[in-house]
Amino acid sequence: MTITLKDIAKHVGLSVTTVSRALAGYDDVAKGTRQRVRAAAKEMGYYPNITARHLQKQRTDTLAFVVPTPGPRFSDPFFSELLAGIGNEAGRHHFDLLVSTQSPDSEDERETYRRIVHGRRADGVLVVRTRQNDERIRFLSEQSFPFVAFGRSDLGSSFPYVDEDSYAGTQLITQHMADLGHRRIGLVSAPAGLMFCQLRVAGYRDTLRANGLEPDQALIIGGDLTQRGGFQAAQTLLALDPRPTAIIACNDLMALGAMSAAQKLGLVIGQDLSVGGFDDIPLAEHAHPPLTTVRQPIYEIGQRITRMLVQLIQGQLAPETRQDASRSSREGETAAETQVILTPQLIIRDSSGPPPDGG
Amino acid sequence: MTITLKDIAKHVGLSVTTVSRALAGYDDVAKGTRQRVRAAAKEMGYYPNITARHLQKQRTDTLAFVVPTPGPRFSDPFFSELLAGIGNEAGRHHFDLLVSTQSPDSEDERETYRRIVHGRRADGVLVVRTRQNDERIRFLSEQSFPFVAFGRSDLGSSFPYVDEDSYAGTQLITQHMADLGHRRIGLVSAPAGLMFCQLRVAGYRDTLRANGLEPDQALIIGGDLTQRGGFQAAQTLLALDPRPTAIIACNDLMALGAMSAAQKLGLVIGQDLSVGGFDDIPLAEHAHPPLTTVRQPIYEIGQRITRMLVQLIQGQLAPETRQDASRSSREGETAAETQVILTPQLIIRDSSGPPPDGG
DNA sequence: ATTGTAATCCGAAACGTTTTGGAAGTCAAA
DNA sequence: TTTGACTTCCAAAACGTTTCGGATTACAAT
């Protein structure tokens, strides 16, 4: 049987109120009493009932994280690293983390959000893989429920987020390929509904044009962000005649799949074909050859959105602050930013090189 | 402002009790009343407060999953797939999932378990990556708190778990290498405290001996289960003279790292060097070359331990049942098993082949 | 002696739900 | 008319905590 405040109160001959306040360290309880209560609590093995505390305090000290899992074999190193960042940061702030896996844009996903918000299951929620016309964001905004997103959206409303500049990132890697002399550069894109997909495709397209290259629709193949998807998309691209001399994938996992597909055809990556990715997951560095990619600080992003969410909940972050250049950073004590766009970094490794002769 | 039962009661002119019972579908409320209440609830946008319900029902309908994360860059596809299995199955049974990331064997990890158990934060907990003399299992057993483990342990106590037969699995792949003619077979092992590490190393050793090969301590290198770790361990192994002609890694991620290390030296995997893994993560299939490995149905294991835990909580699983051959499966309705050992399957792909001449 | 103040404690209410143990009313059988 | 059964409803307690608004005592200042 678990020990409650009432048990302690009975044991030390005080009221529940006094025991509670003694343990909480209020100064309207005598020092001696406090010590006596503390000792009794320890001796009896008291541990506060977390649920009861939640109900009384009208907050749950819990963050919710609804993971969009497209299929059962959700084998994504990107995600586990993000979760580590979120989980560790939540722990640092004494918040629990509620995780739910739901297939994106499903009725179950919608119901999950309703449950969290209306059932007061958590104090805030983290949204990842933002989508065009994202109903999750619309819903949370409407309900003015605290949330922070990893990624922007195209809704009119302003909300707190952290995002990498996908457009600039793809510009970097596309320009890199162009600088190496590539003229036929394929793209393995992502599900079109994802915001970052739009931005990355645009960055790719615009950079091609800026280099006098006309984007060729046949060189853009949809991918599902898995290695298998990258493998298959690359097979399609490599069957073209003439085939592209470079392939850029919208994430590293697909880039690795693309490398395998090319290697299966006997192509040497970095010579016969250049491959570029996005994310810089640890796998990229120790691939063969090491993958040229755009770095995204996944763990830190996880930490950051979590920290922002905690601040938002605790009222240390203005919920609807627009980015505002006129905001003076007076007194050194600048308010925390609510909309962060990270500058991407190109990591050049051996998977990219000049095109082969006649490329 | 959120709507409570009291608000509905006031609105329809009934007591809170009746409203509650109407919504719960008890038959001691008149049909007309029930409909009226239901309509009002819907109209007013009522959603039950989950925390209050938890407190009253003295259960949380929540499972806890404490993920052992060794470092910040926890980039492990194995884990995300396991989580998908756990999360989806928990959802199917209307359980929430509480996830905490803690570094293994740390004081924070211990405190997390205490909090979950004593604070009644969850109704049961999932334990993964079981360790020798596993204090988590000891603690949960002592407190007789419901839990199911992925992996066995060496404590005397009997508890419910699902595990792959790591010993047999390593036997399979080691024998496969021996059958191909390999005599010098290296092993990239895992952190020694992990139960499956012990079993896999034993399976490797015993199979070597069964083939008349004496295990060489120099051919066993510790790894940390990351690709980088496999990369480094393989570098050490490949610097030996004579070098091994085959390398077996205790998981696929390290096997992929080992492949990269070998390829960096110009070796052709499957010809100059054979490589074997363990897990069969999706990355293995589309690696170059595709990786020979031992299959572990990760997603299904996640589902299975979750289902067992739910049954345990709901009293449908005898908490301390030993595996008992004499248990008659009468009436077709066999009780669910509490200790499951899965038979591993060898997946032969192109990363393994006969040793090069003179190997 | 009175007043004021500080120190220490506590009863009751509250958080929102479910459950317990009837109460009140209706109706048919005896 | 009484009894019993059935239907429908509800007040109060309970889950375990925190907080609100005093109450009581002691003691110093007036």
Do the chains contact at B49 and A120, CB–CB below 8 Å? yes
Segment A224-247 shows an average pLDDT of 97
Nearest nucleotide, C1' to the C-alpha of B32? D8
CA of B24: nearest nucleotide by C1' is: C18
Q: Give protein residues whose Cβ lies within 7 A of nucleic acid chain D.
A: A 2, 4-6, 16-17, 20-21, 23-24, 28, 46, 48-49, 52-53, 55-57; B 13-18, 21, 27-31, 33, 52, 55-56, 58
CB–CB contact B120 A282 (8 Å): no
Q: How far is the CA of B30 from the C1' of C30 (A)?
A: 29
A50 CB neighbours in chain B (<8 A) are 115, 119-121
A225 to A37, A195, A222, A345, B307: CA distances (angstroms)? 57, 14, 9, 20, 29
Interface check B273 vs A, CB under 8 A: no
User: A99: which chain B residues are within 8 Å (Cβ-Cβ)?
Assistant: 65, 83, 87, 97-99
In B, residues 50-69, which contact A (CB 8 Å cutoff)?
Answer: 50-52, 54-55, 60, 65, 67, 69
What six digits make up the tokens of B250? Answer: 């205790």
H-type alpha helices, B239-296: 252-264, 282-285
Is A100 close to B85, i.e. CB distance below 8 A? no
Q: Which two tokens stand for residue A300?
A: 């830190």
By mean pLDDT, which of A57-71, B250-264, B332-346 is the weakest? B332-346
| CA end-to-end span of chain A | 76
DSSP letter at B131 equals B
The whole-number Å distance from A29's CA to D27's C1' is 18
- In this complex, is the C-beta atom of B103 within 8 Å of any C-beta atom belonging to chain A? no
Is A231 part of the contact surface with chain B (CB cutoff 8 Å)? yes
pLDDT at position A35: 96
Res. A316 pLDDT band, cuts 50 70 90:
confident
Whether A339 shows a pLDDT value over 60: the answer reads: yes
**What per-residue confidence (pLDDT) applies to B359?**
46
Look at residue B20 and give its three-state secondary structure: helix
Inter-chain touch B121–A260, beta carbons under 8 Å: no
Spell out the residues 6+ positions from residue A30 whose beta carbon is closer than 8 angstroms to its own: none
Q: Is B96 on the interface with A (CB under 8 A)?
A: yes
CA distance to partner chain B, nearest, from residue A171 (Å):
26
> pLDDT band for position B322 (50/70/90)?
very low
Residues in chain B: 359
| pLDDT value of position B318 | 66
Per-residue pLDDT for A336 more than 90? no
Q: Which residues contact A35 (CB under 8 A, 6 or more apart)?
A: none
CB–CB contacts below 8 A, A to B: 187
Cβ-contact B123, B59 below 8 angstroms: yes
Assess A327–B contact: CB distance below 8 Å, yes or no: no
A chain contacts of residue B84, beta-carbon cutoff 8 Å: 69, 72-74, 101
Mean pLDDT of B87-105: 97
Q: Band of the pLDDT at B335, cuts 50, 70, 90? A: low
pLDDT for A297 beyond 80:
yes
Q: Which position has the token pair 């001399």?
A: A245
Beta-bridge partners for A270: none
Residue A88, C-beta contacts closer than 8 angstroms, at least 6 positions apart: A303, B69, B72, B101
Which residue in chain A has the smallest CA separation from B66? A87
Residue A123 forms contact with B (CB below 8 Å): no
Any A CB within 8 A of B120 CB:
yes
Distance between CA atoms of residues A87 and A79, nearest Å: 12
pLDDT in tens, A21-53: 999 999 999 999 999 999 999 999 999 999 999
Nearest-neighbour CA in chain A from B246: distance (Å): 18
Nearest Cα residue to B346 out of B196, B172, B186, B188: B172
Mean pLDDT of the region A88-116: 97
CA angle A96/B194/B125 to nearest 5° reads: 30
Q: What is the average pLDDT value for chain B, to the nearest integer?
A: 93
D14: residue with closest CA to C1': B56
Nucleotides in chain D near protein beta carbons (<7 Å): 7-12, 14-20, 22
User: Which residue out of B5, B50, B275, B296 would a mutagenesis test of the A interface target, given it has the greatest number of A Cβ atoms within 10 Å?
Assistant: B50
Q: Give the pLDDT score at A156.
A: 85
**pLDDT reported for residue B326:** 37
User: B233-247, B263-277, B313-327: lowest mean pLDDT where?
Assistant: B313-327
Question: Hey, is the C-beta of B100 within 8 angstroms of any chain A C-beta?
Answer: yes
CB contact under 8 A, A76 and B77: yes
CB A100 to CB B102 under 8 A? no
Which CA distances in Å does B37 have to A119, A120, B3, B29? 19, 22, 13, 10
Q: On chain C, which bases lie within 7 A of the protein's CB atoms? A: 7-12, 14-20, 22
Q: Are B28 and A28 in contact (CB under 8 A)?
A: no
A84 closest CB neighbour out of B50, B101, B118 = B101
CA–C1' nearest nucleotide, residue B120: D16
Interface test with A, best of B73, B103, B285, B295 (most A CBs within 10 A): B73
Question: What is the pLDDT, as a whole number, of residue A337?
Answer: 83
B282 with A118: Cβ contact below 8 A: no
**C1' (D8) to CA (B227) span, angstroms:** 68
Question: Closest Cα to residue B310, out of B59, B63, B139?
Answer: B63
Is a pLDDT exceeding 90 seen at residue B182? yes
Q: How many Å separate Cα A348 from the centre of its chain? A: 24
| β-sheet bridge partners, residue A273 | A269
Asked if the model's pLDDT at residue B160 lies above 90, the reply is yes
Average pLDDT over residues A210-216: 97
- pLDDT above 50: residue B179: yes
Q: Give me the pLDDT at residue A277, please.
A: 98
**Chain B residues with beta carbon closer than 8 angstroms to that of A114:** 47
The sheet with strand A274-276 has its strands ordered as A220-222, A185-189, A246-249, A274-276
CB of B288 within 8 Å of a chain A CB? The answer is: yes
Q: Residues of B with CB below 8 A from A108's CB?
A: 91
Residue of B285, B314, B282 lying closest to B299 (CA atoms) = B282
pLDDT at residue B329 tops 50: no
Q: Which residues contact A96 (CB under 8 A, 6 or more apart)?
A: A60, A61, A62, A63, A90, B98, B100, B121
The helix, strand and coil proportions of chain B, stated in percent and rounded to the nearest 5, come to 45, 15, 40
Q: Which residues of A110-148 are buried (b: 16+ CB within 10 A; e: fewer)?
A: eebbebbbbbbbbbbbbbbbbbeebebbeebbeeebbbb
Q: What share of chain A is helix, strand, coil (3-state, %, to 5)?
A: 45, 15, 40
Question: Is 70 exceeded by the pLDDT of residue B321?
Answer: no
